[in-house]
Amino acid sequence: MPMHRISTEEKIIHIQGHPVKLQKKNMKSLRLRLIPPHGEIRVSVPSWYSDKEAAQFVLSRWEWIMKQKKTIKAVHPLTQQNYNNGDTILFLGEPYTITIIETSRPGPPQIKGDQIIIEEKANSLPHQRKQKIESWYRTKMKDMMDSLITYWADKMGVEPQEWKIRKMNTRWGSCNTVSRRIWLNLELITMKPEILEYVLVHELAHLLERGHNKQFKSLMDRFLPSWRSLNIELRGGLPL
């Protein structure tokens, strides 16, 4: 376990090949956190703790840490993306190269071959481009969902009261079974349509069965037999 000293209270220790920022503080409790966007591991321990004791504490939570790290990474392709000329973005599982065109009267983004054409005014700002692309994503996803929800609600015999597309960091989707409200993560529009459909069917199935129990799984088997392999493809370890 090599150690690089930063200051008397703070240093980097290596655990299982990962750097961990160790802080010794005048405190009584232990604190373990992963810091976005890269999931830096940070542990704070009481000042009387030895490095070895701190490392043992981190190791005891290692499985949880690795799970959290995966989640943090999985969320960021959309939310942390910079949209520069020549960058690649994903739409329905396919990559498109951003091509920026300056014009005095910009229209909405357009797919042409393997490019996505973004028209903008000469003095526009990066956050405006981000907004433009995300609102385009949202419109495309809303159009798709409208017809998918109608189809699946009818097929499954459920009546969702309301549904929304949201930017979410911790879930792919959610279903409030009392208000019958479904939320879907905007990030899903970057994945192939079958995966979007799978998450939707999963959330709709909660209107028939709240938990992820045996009965829920047999509902999924009945409505979408391919759901198990789609679940593996759904990147990242976020719940739904």
Q: Which residues bind Zn ion (CB under 5 A)?
A: 240
Number of helical H runs and strand E runs in the chain:
6, 12
Q: Give the nearest residue (CB) to Zn ion.
A: 240
CB of 16 or CB of 177, closer to Zn ion = 177
How many Å apart are CA 202 and CA 144, to the nearest integer? 16
Nearest residue (CB) to Zn ion, 85 versus 215: 215
**Integer Cα distance of 50 and 171 in angstroms:** 37
Give the shortest CB-90-to-Zn ion separation in angstroms.
Answer: 24
How many Å apart are CA 196 and CA 91, to the nearest integer? Answer: 12
On whether the CB atoms of residues 95 and 88 are closer than 8 A, the answer is yes
Shortest Cβ 31–Zn ion spacing (Å): 30
DSSP 107: -
Token pair for residue 120?
Answer: 């903008």
Closest CA to 21 of 48, 41, 51: 41
CA–CA dist 104, 119 (Å, integer)? 9
Nearer to Zn ion, 58 or 240 (CB): 240
Q: Which is nearer to Zn ion, 85 or 213 (CB)?
A: 213
> 45 pairs with which residues across the strands?
24
Query: Could you give the dihedral angle defined by the CA atoms of residues 114, 198, 73 and 33, in that order, rounded to the nearest 10 degrees?
Result: 160
Tell the smallest beta-carbon distance from residue 61 to Zn ion (Å).
25
The minimum distance between CB 94 and Zn ion, in angstroms, equals 27
How distant is the alpha carbon of residue 126 from its chain centre? 22
Query: Whole-number minimum distance, CB 24 to Zn ion, in Å?
Result: 41
Tell me how far apart the alpha carbons of residues 192 and 199 are, in angstroms, rounded to a whole number: 11
Q: Specify the residue, 111 or 156, whose C-beta has the smaller distance to Zn ion.
A: 156
Q: How far is the CB of 92 from Zn ion (least distance, A)?
A: 23
Residue with Cβ nearer Zn ion (45 or 240): 240
Compute the least distance from the CB of residue 239 to Zn ion, in Å: 7
Instruction: For Zn ion, give the closer residue by CB, 238 or 240.
Output: 240
Residue with tokens 């043992």: 56
